[in-house]
Structure 1
Amino acid sequence: MASRHSDLAEDLHFRVLRLLQEHPDLSQRELAAKLGVSNGKLHYCMKALIEKGLVKLGNFANSKHHLGYAYLLTPKGIAQKARMTSNFLRRKMAEYEALQAEITGLQRELKTQAEAPAKKSARGAQ
């Protein structure tokens, strides 16, 4: 069970890093909404990424009168994201293959169930 939990945590970290690389100016609230997680869960995730040195908080001027914040991937964060991409892809391919096998099995089962009444009615007609 711990392995499944760590995979889910790594997936969330990966998805956060991916989004931040593309959109560093997203707020935690916006990130949480895009990822479909609670604000608290996202905050906990961001705190962990910052503590690991994968993300840093930077300032940028988004207008003449206001300062905004940006979550920037560090060089260490960029390298970690590359490793996580490989792991994420490997897990998703395994899930895809398992799902594909399950679909094939269900299709066979459905076909067998559909053929059974047809065979019984053909025998009864004789």
Structure 2
Amino acid sequence: MFTDNERYQLLRALEQNPNLSQRQLAIELGYSLGKLNYCLRAFKEKGWVKAENFRNSQNKSAYFYQLTPAGVTEKARVTRRFLQRKLEEYEQIEQEIEALKQEVAQQQL
């Protein structure tokens, strides 16, 4: 359904900016408004996010998105997997760079 990267980015954005509108979140994440709405509904169904209306807002459709304890747990789980994957990518890039350096050094002989 969602990649770890998508889950991580959205959960992180909601944690850091819980009062952003769906439109603002969609722009920040590079999602269409429809995709973001779909993601938020799915996250609410999973119990990772709850949405509450701003009580003092003139805009009655303004919501505050808050991670639930289950959402915080999921974010921690996804963050660990995301970090592990990025570390593996980093190690692979380091190996590629070293191989390229050796190739260049051999060509200069």
- In the superposition, the TM-score normalised over structure 2's length comes to 0.85
Cα distance change on mapping 1:90 and 1:72 into 2, 3 Å: same
Please identify runs of 4+ aligned residues in structure 1 that moved more than 4 A: none
Identical pairs, percent: 46
Local SS of the residue matching 1:37: coil
Greater fraction of residues in helix: 1
Q: Which has the higher contact order (CA 8 A, sep 6+)?
A: 2
Structure 2 stretches lacking a partner, 5+ long = none
TM, length-normalised to structure 1 = 0.75
Question: 1:39-66, CA deviations, whole angstroms, 9 ceiling, x for partnerless residues?
Answer: 2322222222111110111112455x34
Instruction: State the partner residue of 1:51.
Output: 45
Aligned length: 108
Q: Provide the C-alpha distance between the structure 1 equivalents of 2:20 and 2:52, rounded to a whole number of angstroms.
A: 12
CA contact 1:54–1:76 (8 Å) conserved in 2: yes
Structure 1 residues 78-103: Cα deviation after superposition (integer angstroms, max 9, x where no partner): 11111111111111111111111111
Between the aligned partners of 2:25 and 2:59, the Cα distance in structure 1 is 21
* Higher Rg of the two aligned structures: 1
What residue in structure 1 maps to residue 16 of structure 2? Answer: 22
Match of residue 80 from structure 2: 86
**Structure 1 residues 21 and 38: alpha-carbon distance in aligned structure 2, compared to 1, 3 A threshold:** same
Root-mean-square deviation (CA, aligned residues, Å) is 1.9
Match of 1:104, as an amino acid?
A: E
